[in-house]
Structure 1
Amino acid sequence: MELAIFLSTVLFVSLIQIAIPFLVKRTVAFGVTIPYEQTRNPKVLKYKKWYAFVTTVVALAVIIGLIVLSTILDETKLVLVGSLFPFFVLFSGLSLYFYFHYKITKLKKVHEWYSGIKQVHYADLDARSKDEMLASFVHFIPMIITVTLIILTVNLFEQLPNQIPTHWGPDGKPDAFTDKSWMSVLNLPIVLFVLQLMFFGINFFTKHSGIKINAGNVTSSKLRQLRLRKYSSWFLFVTNIIMTLLFAGLQLNLLYEQLFSDSFLLLLPFVFLLVVLVGALWLAVKVGRVDSDLEGKLATGESSKIESVDEDSYWKGGLFYFNPNDPSIFVEKRFGIGWTLNLANPIGYFVILFPIAIILILSFLIFKWF
């Protein structure tokens, strides 16, 4: 089971890493804004292919390494060592990204790609009316389940055993315990509720973020933005539901001992991981098929002498967005599919970091008492 999980994770991470340069919007290459007419530049295409090739080689080496290690290590050691392999793939991809980010930046500067191109801010008042993002209140639905769990846990508190499991081994059986307390018993549903609040905040502020359309390719870039908003909101909601079912299953098994078999409990996290990975891949394809290299066709009937304003100065390394003049809290990633924070807006820190801080504090308190 552990090998299957690690192989699935590495395979997913690798596929996404390999495909990313071809899925991001075509006017961004390795985090650098380029004019629409340069999207088929031979050097730009060459860099993307080299990134994909090297990432593929690394991924194959990691997969072979995992399979070999599974034959010589026991389960415990395989879990410790195998958990590092997906991060190795990510680190390798990130290193390649920064290398080609530098190459594209230099290429753009030397050839003065934006010389003679008029840069404008493009606004489409009709785009907002076509936005199909899910309403934020849908995230209240899983919250109802969590509140019900909390109430049920409070009512059954006196009936629970004096020792509460805090960790489960590879066989699905609990292998670490702590004394019964309100904190240890309510930890899971409280963490779940905090995560649900974070999901609500992400959806709410994403829905109110700006819809940025490329003036050099209005039709495709508009469609991409609308798809990103629609499908990412669905992905967030489905993830919330699956996560809620996972936490609810674990909490119910705590309240009603042996409600689920050990094998079922062991299977739950794997199903959750599989659904999230497949959903992320689905999101990447649905969004990445538009206004990217995968779309194939180039825009026609639109001027190549007009482009959206080059915002490279607001992107640190092409990954971190810091623009105090932009009221949006979340903006489309430049490398990857999805959203990233506008680090110049303090509300974003509250939406993401505050819930994480609460979870870390709760975890610290539990382990301190343990």
Structure 2
Amino acid sequence: MDVTLLFVSLAFLVVMQTIVPFIVKRTVVFGVTVPVEEVKNEELRRYKKTYAALTLSGSIIVIALAIWFMREETIMLAALFLPFVLLFLSLTLYFVFHMKVTKLKQEKSWFKNRKQVRVSELNLRLKDEMLPWVIYLIPVIITFGLLGFSVVNYAQFPDPIPTHWGPDGKPDAWTDKSYVSVLALPMVLLVLNGMFLGINELTKLSGIKLSARNVTASRARQLQLRKYSSWFLFFTAILVSILFTFLQFNTLYGDQIGDLVLVIVPLVFSILMFIGAVFLAIKVGKRDSDFELELIEDGKGDTINIDDDRYWKGGLIYFNRQDPSVFVEKRFGVGFTLNFARPLGYAIILGPLLLLLLIVAIL
């Protein structure tokens, strides 16, 4: 069962990394902005297919080698390092094709001598369907309920408190019982739910960028992306709250919970997260598949969407002091990423991480 859980998780990771070029918006190819009339460029299509084929085949080879050399005592080591190996493989291939698309763009001079414009609609926010902040209080309330439950039942918790579980579902590390150790898990959950709330609100305040040559399609896509990203974030917050609640109950009632349940619950969590991510990709991608190119029939036209590649480091890291948005749409993947030029974003992301490290250090 331990091996099954590991390889099901790896399969999810491989599938997502393989299909990424086909679910991002089509005017960005491997982190490079391309004109709307080039989205069907045969060379760009070939790059995407080659990346997918190499990512899939390379990942299969890595996993096959891991199976060949894996022993029961190395399952934990494989669980720790295999995801990083697979991500390194896909990221390496991404940069290879990022450079190829950049070179092609320069050779073809797609943006040369063309008027670049930025399009916005002042009333578009009125149509935004992102979830309101009050909805995110639901997982917060769950967390406070878990905190209260833990305080009331403090005397029933074991001493010492388990802090880590091995691949067999059995605890393999402990710490002395105290209110800090008993409440550590709910406090971590509270920090995470606060982060989810902050990300949703800052994303809601971020700008909505439209394409100059396909305003209708880009407007629909942006609204879909924001709506379903908000729902996915809330879905994640609820699932994480349920998982942490289960883990806290396991600490208290570990003798009454079977080993099989300890393996199945994280597996179900992973499957549901994967389903949610696929649903998000399909809903946003489906809207992009309805992409009607608003082009001048007899030529490319002089007006084109602004080329902001200079603000994207490697097509992955966004740094733009002129953009007030804290979160912007990812260029490789579905969802949002941080504008690293906005200090508030660091507070939302790094603040919770520092709090988590503090809790771990105290334990």
TM range (shorter): over 0.9
- Give the alignment of 1:112-123 within 5 angstroms: 112-123=109-120
Per-residue CA shift, 1:177-199, capped at 9, x if unaligned?
22111111110000000000000
SS of residue in 1 equivalent to 2:287: coil
Please point out which of 267, 283, 305 is paired with 1:270.
Answer: 267
CA distance in 1, matches of 2:210, 2:290: 19
1:241 corresponding residue in structure 2: 238
1:212 corresponding residue in structure 2: 209
TM-score (norm 2): 0.94
Kindly state the Cα deviation for residue 66 of structure 1 after the two structures are TM-superposed: 3.8
Kindly state the Cα deviation for residue 305 of structure 1 after the two structures are TM-superposed: 3.0
Kindly state the Cα deviation for residue 257 of structure 1 after the two structures are TM-superposed: 5.1
1:108 corresponding residue in structure 2: 105
What percentage of aligned pairs have identical amino acids?
48
Contact 1:35–1:114 (Cα < 8 Å) also in 2: yes
Kindly state the Cα deviation for residue 131 of structure 1 after the two structures are TM-superposed: 1.1
What code does the residue aligned with 1:223 have? A
CA distance in 1, matches of 2:21, 2:159: 54
Kindly state the Cα deviation for residue 176 of structure 1 after the two structures are TM-superposed: 2.3
CA distance in 1, matches of 2:186, 2:43: 52
Contact 1:163–1:178 (Cα < 8 Å) also in 2: yes
CA distance in 2, matches of 1:9, 1:169: 17
- Give the alignment of 1:140-289 within 5 angstroms: 140-256=137-253, 258-289=255-286
Per the alignment, do residues 64 and 257 of structure 1 end up closer, same or farther by CA in structure 2, a change over 3 Å counting? closer
CA distance in 2, matches of 1:232, 1:106: 32
What code does the residue aligned with 1:5 have? L
* Alignment of 1:359 onto 2:356: yes
Please point out which of 111, 135, 138 is paired with 2:135.
Answer: 138
Contact 1:31–1:334 (Cα < 8 Å) also in 2: yes
CA RMSD of aligned residues (A): 1.8
Kindly state the Cα deviation for residue 252 of structure 1 after the two structures are TM-superposed: 2.3
Contact 2:217–2:290 (Cα < 8 Å) also in 1: no
Q: Which runs of 4+ in 1 moved over 4 A?
A: 301-304
Kindly state the Cα deviation for residue 204 of structure 1 after the two structures are TM-superposed: 0.7
1:35 corresponding residue in structure 2: 35
CA distance in 2, matches of 1:257, 1:53: 45
TM-score (norm 1): 0.92
SS of residue in 2 equivalent to 1:176: strand
1:339 corresponding residue in structure 2: 336
SS of residue in 2 equivalent to 1:180: coil
CA distance in 1, matches of 2:275, 2:26: 24
Contact 1:27–1:36 (Cα < 8 Å) also in 2: yes
CA distance in 2, matches of 1:65, 1:310: 43
CA distance in 2, matches of 1:134, 1:126: 18
CA distance in 1, matches of 2:291, 2:271: 33
Kindly state the Cα deviation for residue 260 of structure 1 after the two structures are TM-superposed: 3.0
SS of residue in 1 equivalent to 2:276: helix
Per-residue CA shift, 1:274-331, capped at 9, x if unaligned?
111221122112212333xxx2764145674322211111111110000111111000
* Alignment of 1:21 onto 2:3: no
Per the alignment, do residues 147 and 296 of structure 1 end up closer, same or farther by CA in structure 2, a change over 3 Å counting? closer
CA distance in 1, matches of 2:75, 2:159: 33
Unaligned runs of 5+ residues in structure 2 are none
SS of residue in 2 equivalent to 1:175: strand
Moved more, 223-232 or 157-166: 157-166
Per-residue CA shift, 1:191-210, capped at 9, x if unaligned?
00000000000111111111
What code does the residue aligned with 2:130 have? M
CA distance in 2, matches of 1:85, 1:255: 32
Contact 2:146–2:186 (Cα < 8 Å) also in 1: yes
What code does the residue aligned with 1:172 have? G
Contact 2:24–2:332 (Cα < 8 Å) also in 1: yes
Please point out which of 293, 298, 307 is paired with 1:299.
Answer: 293
SS of residue in 2 equivalent to 1:115: coil
What code does the residue aligned with 2:224 have? R
CA distance in 1, matches of 2:107, 2:304: 19
Contact 1:36–1:217 (Cα < 8 Å) also in 2: yes
Per-residue CA shift, 1:207-236, capped at 9, x if unaligned?
111111111111111111111111111111
